[in-house]
Amino acid sequence: MRPLRPENAVLSCNVFVYNGLCRWRDTFFTRIDTKKVSPKISPDIWGKKGLQTNKLTWQAGSKNRAGRWRKKYNGKVYYFNGGRGKSDRNAYAAAISEWNQIKLRVDAVLPRRHQAEYDSLIETWDRVLTWSNRHGETQMAQIAYEKLIKLRSALEAPVLKSPKREDYLESEFTVPTIDLPENLLEQTAKELKTDNFVFPSLSDSTIESRKKYALELDGSPQRILREIWLDRLDSVRKQSVNSQDLLSENIAEFIKHKKQEVDSNRLSLFRFYTLELHLSHFQQTIDGNISISEINTKLLLKYQSVLLENIKNGKWSNTTARGYLHSMKSFVRWLWHIEAIPNLPRVLDGRVDILSIRSGPMNIIEFTDDEIAVLLNKSKGRTKLFILLMLNCGMTQKDISDLRKNEVDLSAGRIIRKRSKTSHHEGVPTVNYLLWPETLKLLRKYQNDSESERFLLNNKGAPLLSESINKNQKYQKSDNIKCVFDRFRKKVGINKPLKSLKKTSASRLRNNVSYNSLVDLYLGHAPQSMSERHYATHPQELFDSAISWLAAEFKLDPPIMKTSSGKSKL
């Protein structure tokens, strides 16, 4: 039999020969389906802006009836007390509060539109990810991972839009749709008649029967691939993992363990938050539904390659990817320590340098003389104090916020303390900073008179920098000093970060042959060499002299230093 190739069809659609029969891919039927089930996004019930802000509509009163606030939601109208009128803020606030409570109740009872579709899609792509990870299908794993991120992100939107065609697994196996002539079937049948071929009549068929018929005939690579994947997903569903062995369960257990460390002050809140963030990424990338028994070198290297890909794409720096890798390694080691896994993957052996990401080059930014002059001449009040403390004492926001009353000696003009960040380390020095006259003057002016141990507080009497876990169990922090400096630097047109102030002072000392040995002391770092660690004492007079020299470098008045006999000298 010679190939059956209608000329006008072979170039424009998917007619091909399979097992000696003329086959049609389901493209034609797909087009019919597309028309019937429109992927159009459902209309927003009451507008994006309204939904986001929960604003209410004022309904004016008439005759003896007072005005009131109104909200229409999911087709139902709710009314709230209007108080003394539209300008009654208290009544509006009460109405908003009441509406929020009603909305919570309504939303809890009514599932969101399209929620079920999203749940099903996420479940499907989850299984695709599981299968792909288990069998080394990196390309499909990447697709599944990206689909999951997209779908989960869409779920967080206030209004859930209808999933798109490409969100479905089937879209991966569908041949692109093309335009076919209206009378294609008739034309083809006519041409085939010349070869005594009887084309089946579809005139009385339905869309469903055509689709079924097409599927029965369809032996296309796409169809075969789709069937293979449906089989694979089915096998994933059948392989049930004991919940105690699930990766997700063990990560949750690890996080719980770390939370206990936070509660007992053995771990900072932010470190806890970081671990949670990193392991959540690990779980989503690798798939939380695998068993921890499947954690092996190959799997860990696969995760590393995802991180390296993020560096390559410019999405992350080496430092960030390195942090994610370290958190994952820490978790796997913990699994081994608690004997949840019998063996530690060999790449986690300290002598092996395979599973690691190195930090990138450091980017040191310093202020120029002109910029320092602008900062010091145009700033005033608290802003100037913060800038001076950073230049004078190499402080960061955290150091300024943590500065205690017993660490400041106003009469001697000194701050004597360990850096906040490293204060719990034994090797870190307690540094005695001589204060410049301007720094001292502003410290006196802004010192906190309340009972709080902190020397400086914000306008509300709270710490200048704070961190906490909010009611939604989310980590949050507030940094007044950064905010103050950001506003100021925008005003004066300087675009360098706050920490560069400290770096600028350190750099000036490093470039001075008389003082370059004092840089670590100025920064409050632990001595690095053996001789510094064990034999040397802090050369206080030399250090005072260095701090005075720094004042001159920045065109500031030098401090008055007192000699050992108590006499003052410049």
Partner DNA sequence: TTCCAGGTTACGGAGCTCTC
Partner DNA sequence: GAGAGCTCCGTAACCTGGAA
What is the contact surface with DNA in residues (CB under 7 A)?
A: 52-53, 267-268, 270-271, 274, 277, 316-321, 323, 326, 329-330, 333, 348, 350-351, 353, 356, 358-360, 362-364, 396-399, 420-422, 425-428, 465, 470, 474-480, 482-483, 487, 497-500, 503, 523-526, 529
Residues 6+ apart with CB under 8 A from 450: 457, 461
- Distance (Å, whole) CA 102 – CA 108: 10
484 token code pair: 């103050």
Which residue's CB is nearer to DNA, number 209 or number 468?
468
3-state secondary structure 470-524: CCCCCEEEEEHHHHHHHHHHHHHCCCCCCHHHHHHHHHHHHCCCCCHHHHHHHHC
Tokens of 339: 């004997």
**162 versus 330: smaller Cβ distance to DNA:** 330
Nearer to DNA, 180 or 428 (CB): 428
CB closer to DNA out of 32 and 416: 416
Task: Supply the minimum distance, in Å, between the C-beta of residue 267 and DNA.
Answer: 6
d(CA 433, CA 498): 20
Q: Which is nearer to DNA, 236 or 521 (CB)?
A: 521
Phi, psi (deg, nearest 5) at residue 404 = -95, 160
Residue pair 557/551 in contact by the 8 Å Cβ criterion: yes
**453 within 8 A of 405, measured Cβ to Cβ:** yes
Min dist. Cβ of residue 552 to DNA (A) = 24
Measure CA 54 to chain center: 26
Minimum distance, C-beta of residue 183 to DNA, in the bound complex (Å): 50
557 vs 570: CA distance, rounded Å? 10
> What's the CA gap between 223 and 214, in Å, rounded?
11
| Cross-strand bridge partners of residue 78 | 71
Enumerate residues 6+ apart whose C-beta is below 8 A from 526: 422, 425, 427, 428, 429, 520, 533
Q: Which is nearer to DNA, 422 or 545 (CB)?
A: 422
Least distance from C-beta 273 to DNA, angstroms? 7
Distance of closest approach, residue 355 Cβ to DNA, in angstroms: 7
375 Cβ contact list (under 8 Å, min separation 6): 367, 387, 489, 492, 494, 501
**Is the CB of 174 or the CB of 422 nearer to DNA?**
422
Residues 532, 538, 539, CA angle at the centre, nearest 5°? 115
What is the smallest separation between the CB atom of 497 and DNA, expressed in angstroms? 3
- Which amino acid type is present at position 566? G
Q: Are 474 and 491 in contact (CB under 8 A)?
A: no
Residue placing its CB nearer to DNA in the complex, 465 or 550: 465
Select 28 or 145, whichever has its Cβ closest to DNA. 145
CB nearer DNA, residue 16 or residue 334: 334
Closest CB to DNA among residues 274, 545: 274
CA distance 189 to 199: 6
- Please check whether residue 164 is in contact with residue 39, taking contact to mean a CB–CB distance below 8 angstroms: yes
b or e along 434-456 (b: 16 or more beta carbons within 10 Å of the residue's beta carbon)?
A: bbbebbbebbeeeeeeeeeebbb
Q: How far is the CB of 94 from DNA (least distance, A)?
A: 15
Please state the closest distance from residue 357 (CB atom) to DNA, in A.
9
Question: Nearest distance from residue 346's CB to DNA, in Å?
Answer: 12
Evaluate whether 39 touches 53 at the Cβ level (below 8 Å): no
Cβ at position 538, least distance to DNA in Å: 14
Which CB atom, from 75 or from 350, has the smaller least distance to DNA?
A: 350
Q: How far is CA 81 from CA 54, 70, 77, in A?
A: 16, 9, 14
Q: Between 216 and 426, whose beta carbon lies closer to DNA?
A: 426
CB of 33 to DNA, least distance (A): 35
Q: Minimum distance between the CB of residue 389 and DNA, rounded to whole angstroms?
A: 11
Instruction: Quote the least distance from Cβ 66 to DNA, whole Å.
Output: 26
Q: Which amino acid is at 558?
A: P
